[in-house]
């Protein structure tokens, strides 16, 4: 019998499908434009094309997988783990691509005279390959053992079952929360975010300083160049804000779940490991009363509603916001590049 879909899930799936329908064709057009337009084949657009590839994969692969995890079908443990890992790989690739673009913007305003000799297409290709390699390492780490197999296996064997555990495929059942917090967030999400903030602050400072120095001079190429860089930096700063708004709430929830289990209600299930879940204190107390919780109680309803928003029960809600943010970034930079406003470092 196929799993039922709640109203919350239906709304979530609708948003995901809408984002995919917008993101995939738009980013395919960006990749096609870079391929056919010689003027766009420089280091900057190598990074933008890499971001577009990641976003096409997010729309074409990650979003369908996120919807699958959202529904929660019955699968073998490693099958579910293989479904969850591409989500980590491609979102990490998008994050690193955004960081590479930020570094590129910094170099354009820091060393405009030497930019083309320092940031060559070959070096950009090496940087892109490094970003994708790191993304695969980060995303596939759970496949190499940092997962919940032991806990699930113990619960599976405690029921007298043998072989590989069959579970309801949900993200937190296969992906370790320690991995998500200590490794994914503290190493590969938060540091790039803080680094991008510092980079763009420095970019704004350098541009403002250059514009103030040339304020009394006639309007020439340098001032036009830095003025255009300032507008681009403002657009990218907005993308950084959308990036933070997309991911930080999710990872903060993960941190609270890991470090403050007193905020969550623990529900013991015979066929799986205990999962910490959001809920009110009343519902947590009801869980351990004889006869179990009252499904109609306000505390239980609050727990069910909040559990819909957790990693453990639902696929990440960050995909729609992050995909749309990346889509805006790629489209904005590609448009400015086609108009000849991006590829003109000082010479």
Whole-number Cα distances in Å, 170 to 73, 87, 167, 310: 8, 13, 8, 10
Does 271 have pLDDT greater than 60? no
Contact 278, 310 (CB under 8 A): yes
Tell me the domain boundaries of the chain. Answer: 7-269+323-341
Q: How high is the pLDDT of residue 335?
A: 60
Structure tokens at 84: 């969850």
Burial 283-298 (b: 16+ CB within 10 A, else e): bbebbeeeeebeeeee
pLDDT band at 26 (very low <50, low <70, confident <90, very high): confident
Interval 126-152 mean pLDDT: 95
Does 291 have pLDDT greater than 80? no
With a CB cutoff of 8 Å and minimum separation 6, the contacts of 147 are: 81, 174, 175, 176, 179
Q: Model pTM?
A: 0.77
Please report the beta strands in the chain, taking only residues with DSSP state E, as ranges in sequence order: 74-76, 166-168, 264-267, 275-278
Q: How high is the pLDDT of residue 162?
A: 86
Give me the chain's average pLDDT, please: 76
Higher pLDDT among residues 38 and 27, named by residue: 27
pLDDT band at 149 (very low <50, low <70, confident <90, very high): very high
Q: How high is the pLDDT of residue 218?
A: 46
Q: Measured on CA atoms in the order 51, 54, 58, 60, is the torsion positive or negative? A: positive
Strands 74-76 and 264-267 turn out to be unpaired
- Helix axis angle, 77-110 to 43-57, nearest 10°: 160
CATH number of the domain at 7-269+323-341, please?
A: 1.20.1070.10
pLDDT band at 289 (very low <50, low <70, confident <90, very high): very low
Contact 240, 344 (CB under 8 A): no
């Amino acid at each position: 019998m196929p799993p039922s879909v709640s109203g919350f899930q239906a709304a979530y799936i609708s948003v995901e499908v809408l984002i995919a329908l917008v993101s995939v064709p738009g980013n395919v057009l960006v990749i096609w434009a870079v391929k056919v337009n010689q003027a766009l084949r420089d280091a900057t657009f190598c990074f933008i094309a890499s971001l577009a590839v990641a976003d096409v994969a997010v729309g074409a692969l990650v979003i369908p997988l996120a919807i699958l995890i959202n529904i929660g079908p019955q699968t073998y443990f490693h099958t579910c783990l293989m479904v969850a890992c591409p989500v980590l790989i491609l979102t990490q690739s998008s994050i690193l691509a955004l960081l590479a673009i930020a570094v590129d913007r910094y170099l354009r305003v820091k060393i405009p005279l030497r930019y083309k000799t320092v940031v060559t297409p070959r070096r950009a290709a090496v940087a892109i390959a490094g970003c994708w390699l790191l993304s695969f390492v980060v995303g596939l780490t759970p496949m190499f053992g940092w997962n919940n197999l032991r806990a699930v296996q113990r619960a599976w064997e405690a029921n007298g079952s043998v072989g590989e555990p069959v579970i309801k495929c949900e993200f937190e059942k296969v992906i370790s929360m320690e991995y998500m917090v200590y490794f994914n967030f503290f190493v590969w999400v938060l540091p790039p975010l803080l680094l991008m903030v510092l980079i763009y602050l420095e970019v704004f400072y350098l541009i403002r300083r250059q514009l103030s120095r040339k304020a009394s001079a006639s309007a020439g190429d340098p001032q036009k160049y830095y003025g255009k860089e300032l507008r681009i930096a403002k657009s990218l700063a907005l993308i950084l804000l959308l990036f933070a708004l997309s991911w930080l709430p999710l990872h903060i929830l993960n941190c609270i779940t890991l470090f403050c289990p007193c905020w969550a209600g623990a529900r013991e299930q015979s066929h799986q490991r205990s999962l910490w879940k959001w809920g009110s204190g009343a519902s947590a107390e009801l869980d351990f009363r004889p006869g179990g919780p009252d499904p109609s109680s306000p505390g239980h309803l609050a727990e069910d509603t909040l559990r819909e928003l957790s990693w453990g029960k639902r696929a990440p809600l960050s995909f729609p916001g992050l995909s749309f943010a990346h889509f805006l970034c790629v489209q904005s930079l590609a448009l400015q590049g086609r108009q000849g406003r991006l590829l003109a470092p000082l010479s």
